[in-house]
Chain A
């Protein structure tokens, strides 16, 4: 009798738990659909060919409000530059942390600082970039922006690389060493390739993260109404253009900003999808290691 009652209670509990989990998952999904739907409904109308072809045009001039070609190109170059600095630095640091020195005097503080830096507000990174790069050069420039973005990427990439390399079974390392490989060769030919899929995922997530950053660029790249590919000048970016347009008084500017946001979200979405596709096809090979 008692057993049956207990059993019924347990089953009720179990069902309730399931129900709560489903409800909250659905809530998240709903929120996502609402946000995306809202963005699309407002922004889609303003996405024209001109958006990609033209620069922002001031009010009163022909073609107003123009497009965000400068921002798109600027963000692209900034991400490329930041990746060129951040990915190698982060990955090599991650390799050091995982493979060379698990608990050395250099590794333990580095790991701690990486964790702290991942949580630092990005505006602080912007100020740092201003002090370290903009002030010595004397004016705002694209390199400073890229450096600030790289600064955000490095700790994320270093830590993911480290974590992913740690997941590589030690038996791979032993097998390689026992075959007469040096440590460097073991890392380059066996350990890193075995973790490539997950490292790519980590790197792409870091890229996606900085692609949406605005604050670090305010003090460093500044922004520009012109199309430029020279990072030594003040440099445009999509996020910064959206910020400016959203502050403007004109509804036409706001519409352009919405379109910019939509394009940015689409970019990050596509980036994430690509990453997922990539990592799954790569991880498939390493699956049951």
Chain B
């Protein structure tokens, strides 16, 4: 999962690639466990439906299904999007809370090293989709899924997927900043500690690097050992980003990271997202249209559990194909 990017386009990306290789990566387990044959029914994770053992599949754009959503959603992949390398892809993905279908046949690709924004009115399934990617919905009873979400071609709902390892590679930042009630240092190195890292020197290195990446280092360098709960809201959210980065993920999932923050803190987080965009693939859920326009390369508009329109941010905002998208992004409804 960590191979150098071959089709680099500009120098900045080359540099990033080098930097990625230089960072001492934490020990990685294979994402797929040995699958005992025949698989016993009922020993999988709650979300793991009766999927056959998987083989990695290409996330080629032609895999994009042709089913037209009832809202008249587009079925073709935007050429700009199709040209990207895809880290994540949803393929006819559906999710049910009990009998209630919350996500309807989602088909979408997430481009590597780009920022993808999920927008749409409350309750349209943005967060649900985001939380399906790292299988955080497994924590909720009564959740059932159909279809696939692939990460580097690997279906994350397949039997034999190591969910723990998957979540280490998909960092998450939540709506409400949620640092643990521990010191700043312990918060940042949490992921490394649970991975069994004991070397204090290395932990300090990880801590500093992550805090620097999250643009928080200068503000907290003198008080790493004091409680994380003493930080301001914006600092706490950047700490949560640092905590996610410290696990060395390659995707950052952000669930409305600025909704609880004031404008100044919000702009700091947005700057940070700009900084992070090439090193990490960012998927951000947001309610704020301007924010989506400012930070993202691609925007997906969701409505009533369906992906309505998806394409480069500029075209979604300036030249949407559907009336509904236009109404939403211009603030006429939602």
Contact = CB atoms under 8 A, between A and B. Distances in A.
A69 B178 CA distance: 52
A182 B164 contact: yes
B329 interface: no
- Interface footprint category on B: 20 to 34
Interface in B180-235: 180-182, 190-191, 193-195, 227, 229
Contacts of A72: none
Given A185-B194, A285-B229, A177 B136 contact: yes
Contact of A194 (B139, B171, B180): B180
B238 to A, nearest CB: 14
A194 B191 contact: no
B190 A178 contact: no
Binding site of A, secondary structure by majority: helix, strand, loop or mixed?
helix
A287 interface: yes
A174 B180 CA distance: 11
B191 A180 contact: yes
Interface residues of A, number: 23
Nearest to B180: A190
Contact of A178 (B136, B176, B182, B195): B136
Nearest to B138: A177
B139 A171 contact: no
A181 B243 CA distance: 13
B252 to A, nearest CB: 11
B181 A193 contact: yes
Contact of B191 (A169, A179, A182, A285): A179
B295 interface: no
Nearest to B175: A171
A96 interface: no
Contacts of A285: 181, 227, 229
A175 B174 contact: yes
Contacts of B167: 177-180
Nearest to A179: B191
Contact of A179 (B139, B168, B182, B227): B168
Contacts of B168: 179-180
A243 interface: no
Contacts of A194: 180-181
A16 to B, nearest CB: 42
A180 B247 contact: yes
Nearest to A182: B164
A279 interface: no
A180 B178 CA distance: 16
Given A185-B194, A287-B229, A289-B229, A172 B180 contact: yes
Interface of A: 169, 171-182, 185, 189-190, 193-194, 285-289
A-B pairs, top 5 by smallest CB distance, nearest first, are A180-B168, A171-B178, A178-B172, A180-B167, A179-B191
